[in-house]
Chain A
Amino acid sequence: MQSFLEFEKPVAQLQARIEELRAAGGACSADIEDEVSQLEAKSHELLVRTYANLTPWQKTQVARHPRRPHFADLVAHGFEDFVPLAGDRAFADDQAILGGFARLQGRRIMLIGHEKGHDTQSRVRHNFGMAKPEGYRKAIRLMDLAGRFGLPVVTLVDTSGAFPGVEAEERGQAEAIARCTEACLALPVPLVAAVVGEGGSGGAVALASADRVLMFEHAVYSVISPEGCASILWRTAEKAPDAAEAMKVGAKDLLQAGVIDRIVDEPLGGAHRDPVAAAVSMASAIAEELGALVGLAPSTLRRNREDRFLRIGG
Chain B
Amino acid sequence: MSWLDRVRNTLPFLARREVPENLWIKCPRCDEMVFTREYAENLSVCPRCDHHGRIGADERLRQVLDEGFALLPTPAVREDPLKFRDQKRYTERLKQARAKSAHADAFVVAVGAIEGRPATVGVQDFGFMGGSMGLAVGAAFCAGADDALRNRRPYIVFTAAGGARMQEGILSLMQMPKTTVMVRRLREAGLPYIVVLTDPTTGGVTASYAMLGDVQIAEPGALIGFAGQRVIQETIREKLPENFQRAEYLLEHGMIDMVVKRSELRPTLARILDYLAPHTG
Contacts and interface: CB of A to CB of B under 8 A. Distances in A.
Nearest to B87: A234
B172 to A, nearest CB: 5
Contacts of B177: 181, 184-185, 205, 209, 309
A164 B232 contact: yes
A202 interface: yes
Interface in A235-249: 239, 242-243, 246-249
A166 B244 contact: yes
Contact of A257 (B171, B203, B226): B171
Contacts of B164: 201, 223-224
Contact of B226 (A168, A233, A246): A168
Contact of A222 (B173, B176, B184, B208): B173
Interface string B229-255: 001100110001100110000000111
A169 B226 contact: yes
Contacts of A247: 82, 84, 166, 169-170
Interface string B149-182: 0000000000000011011111111101110110
Contacts of B183: 182
Given A185-B180, A221-B170, A313-B78, A174 B225 contact: yes
B85 A246 contact: yes
A217 B181 CA distance: 29
A246 B86 contact: yes
Nearest to B173: A223
Interface residues of A, number: 51
Interface in A155-214: 162-166, 168-175, 177-179, 181-182, 184-186, 201-202, 205-206, 209
B207 interface: yes
B166 to A, nearest CB: 5
Interface residues of B, number: 55
Contacts of A169: 225-227, 232, 244-245
Interface string A254-289: 100101000000000000000000000000000000
A173 B207 contact: yes
A173 B211 CA distance: 10
B204 interface: yes
B30 interface: no
A248 B207 contact: no
B227 A173 contact: yes
Contact of A309 (B87, B178, B241): B178
B278 interface: no
Contact of A182 (B78, B166, B212): B212
Given A162-B226, A182-B183, A186-B184, A170 B135 contact: no
Contacts of A27: none
A1 interface: no
A201 B204 contact: yes
Which residue of A169, A170, A242 has the most chain B CB atoms within 10 A of its CB atom? A169
A30 interface: no
Given A166-B232, A168-B227, A174-B207, A232 B212 contact: no
A242 B142 CA distance: 32
A233 B173 contact: no
Contacts of B225: 169, 173-174
Given A209-B177, A224-B164, A234-B86, A165 B171 contact: no
18 contacts: A164-B226, A164-B227, A166-B240, A170-B253, A173-B226, A174-B211, A181-B176, A185-B177, A205-B177, A222-B169, A239-B86, A246-B85, A249-B170, A309-B174, A309-B177, A310-B178, A313-B171, A313-B174
5 closest A-B pairs by beta carbon, nearest first, are A164-B227, A174-B206, A233-B86, A177-B207, A174-B226
Given A172-B253, A177-B226, A205-B173, 14 more contacts: A164-B228, A171-B253, A174-B207, A178-B208, A182-B184, A202-B173, A205-B176, A223-B164, A224-B166, A247-B166, A259-B171, A309-B177, A312-B178, A313-B168
